[in-house]
Amino acid sequence: MCSGRVDLEFVLRAFSNGMDGVFIGGCRLNECNYITHGNYDALNMVLLCKKIMEHIGLNPERLRIEFMSSADGILFAEMMSEFGNEVRELGPLGKTEGIDRNELKSKLAEIRKLVPYIKVVKNAKLASRLKSPEEYDNLFTQDEIDELFSQVVSYYIEPAKCQACMICAKRCPVEAIISARNQVHVIEQEKCIKCGTCFEVCPTKFGAVTKIPGGPVPPPIPEEKRTIVRKGKES
């Protein structure tokens, strides 16, 4: 499998399942046989994930990526042995960092839920083609990642503008929108993954979906008040 297919979610899931370290091996940079150069995507993802790990208090050295060819069997064995020793020295996940296991699991769950949002927001940087190791530390900064999570965008459907067209509900990838015919739609914030699909597909003539960056979301309209009365149909 191309290292470029190792998703951020896979790495976070591994840590969520209690893995003490994650190692990713990829082809050498600029030696892709299929011209996709997915190893650059893997590198950028790892650099982002390391900053996220720091944000939640985990040692970023628990995640490592290395590039080698299929002929580098000895090198691979040496790297795995070295990484294994490093992880053993770090100890069980969270224990060395002083994070309670349940607290860590909760933090990782929140981050995993935001993976689609993170990838949309950082799409340009994740597509970078870094030329030298000196550039690695500058791709993502800790302040940038801290700000990312402090300014998470939420989405809200304005009751007065919603026309119950059901487009957003049909397109939502996680079925986080409560919808019914002639009923104002409501986004279930606990299910929402902040992907922005609802915002993108809402017809411009309605403009019912609004972005709320880093602030509280208005409470959902009560179910008994969600019925939309069309013009000419008032009793």
Q: Over the stretch 131-154, which tens digit does the pLDDT of each residue have? A: 888 899 899 999 999 999 998 999
Q: Which helix (H) or strand (E) holds 184?
A: strand 183-187
Contact between 209 and 202 (Cβ < 8 Å): yes
Q: How far is CA 99 from CA 10, 92, 107, in A?
A: 21, 11, 10
Q: What are phi and psi of 170, to 5 degrees?
A: -70, -30
What is the value of pTM for the model shown?
0.83
The residues spanned by each domain of the chain are 3-150, 153-225
pLDDT of residue 70: 84
pLDDT value for 175:
96
> What is the pLDDT, as a whole number, of residue 36?
86
Helix axes 101-113, 38-56, angle to 10 degrees: 140
List of residues 6+ apart from 3 with CB closer than 8 A: 24, 25, 26, 27, 38, 39, 41, 42, 65
Rounded Cα gap, residues 122 and 183, in angstroms = 35
Tell which CATH classification among 3.40.630.40, 3.30.70.20, 3.40.50.150, 3.30.2130.10 matches the domain 153-225: 3.30.70.20
* CA nearest to 60, candidates 103, 21, 95: 21
How many Å apart are CA 30 and CA 76, to the nearest integer?
19
3-state SS, residue 59: coil
Residue ranges of the chain whose pLDDT lies below 70: 232-235
Q: What is the pLDDT of residues 48-62, one digit of tens each?
A: 999 999 999 999 999
pLDDT of the residue at 131? 87
Are 132 and 33 a contacting pair, CB within 8 Å? no
CA 215 to CA 36: how far, in whole Å?
Answer: 39
Distance CA 111, CA 194 (A): 12
| pLDDT tens figures, 192-215 | 999 999 999 999 999 999 999 988
